[in-house]
Structures are given as C-alpha cells and as structure tokens.
Chains A and B, each alone.
Chain A
C-alpha cells in the first residue's frame, strides 16, 4: 500500500494468530537541493 505519510492509520492486533505480522515499510520525502534546512537547535555560542 502507498499513501500520504500524514494519513493516520492503525493496524489492528492479531492476538489469536500463530504467525507474526511482518511488514516491510518505508517513508519518502522529496528533496530540493536549493533549499537548506534551518538549524533548530539554539546554543549560547
């Protein structure tokens, strides 16, 4: 399944199963090399 990363989802439990639920998953986010990320951490220096 492929869906927007901000979509809330919930896999229900499988408490009666013998087999484990095994999921291979990933998240992707497009990168624009012309944009840099702001450093969020503040220091005294």
Chain B
C-alpha cells in the first residue's frame, strides 16, 4: 500500500485476486434486489445501493480490503462500524461534485476512513474524464490520474 501524495493519508493499492465479471454480476444483482437502491435523480445522479449480499466475489473483495485495514489502519482486535455500497455511474451522469463520507447512513457513528475499489473503469476517457479529484486543503486540489488505477 503506497501513499499517493506525501502526508495526505491517501493510499492506493491493487487487488487482483478476484473475478471481475462475477463481481459485476453480483453487484448488479445487489442493485436489483435491494429495495433501498437509490436510482438516478438530480440530487443523486448515479445508482447507489448498499451491499445486502454476502459470499462470492463481494465478500472476497471486502475481506481483502478489511485485511488492509487490519494491517495498516486499525488493530485487528479493534471494533469498527462498517457501511458498504456499490455506486454505478453511466455516461448519462452529468454531475461531478465534491463530497465526503463522514456521515454513515442509518448509523450514529461517524466515518473515519473510506475505501473505493474501481470494479470497472469507464472507457473512451478524454482529458480528465473519470479522474478522481481530492481536495486536501482549501486551496489545494490533487488529481489522481486514471492511468494510476
């Protein structure tokens, strides 16, 4: 696990031990069966669905992420609250806005750490399309280039 920018606490790593097509199938199924899936709207331009399935590739990837947390962030004996979701953004999504994840939906606890795993990167990207942008301080914005995913 490497730090993307010095002293940013933003890290990246690679997970390769998973089946991408199976994971995509599972996540689309999760979106379908979850009655609380949020469909695209003005306030939420993508599809967002909390993870309600266990087993398969979802649990495989989640477990690998948790291993990173236990190794680098938390001590293994620590307890922590956990929210997990899938976000799907199509080419119809015209919205890009800054946000954070301190609010944990339906929980009283506050989020301390966020992780994102790009299951499928969009194609036909021009310029900064698909790039994730971090705003570390008020005036400094860092770009994580798509080539680094």
Contact = CB atoms under 8 A, between A and B. Distances in A.
A8 B120 contact: no
A3 B129 CA distance: 21
B117 to A, nearest CB: 5
Contact of A8 (B68, B123, B134): B134
A34 B99 CA distance: 31
A6 B96 CA distance: 17
A6 B94 CA distance: 24
A21 B131 CA distance: 11
Contact of A24 (B58, B82, B94): B58
Contact of B120 (A22, A26, A32): A22
B112 A5 contact: yes
A20 B136 CA distance: 27
Contact of A23 (B93, B117, B126, B128): B117
B8 to A, nearest CB: 8
Contact of B115 (A1, A13, A17, A18): A1
Looking at chain B, what size class is its interface with the partner chain?
A: 35 or more
Interface in A1-45: 1-33, 37
B100 A26 contact: no
A11 B130 contact: yes
Interface in B53-77: 58, 61-62, 65, 68-69, 72-74
Contacts of A4: 9-10, 112-114
B22 interface: no
Contacts of A28: 69, 73-74, 80-82, 111-115
Contact of B89 (A11, A33, A37): A11
Nearest to B72: A2
Contacts of B69: 2, 28
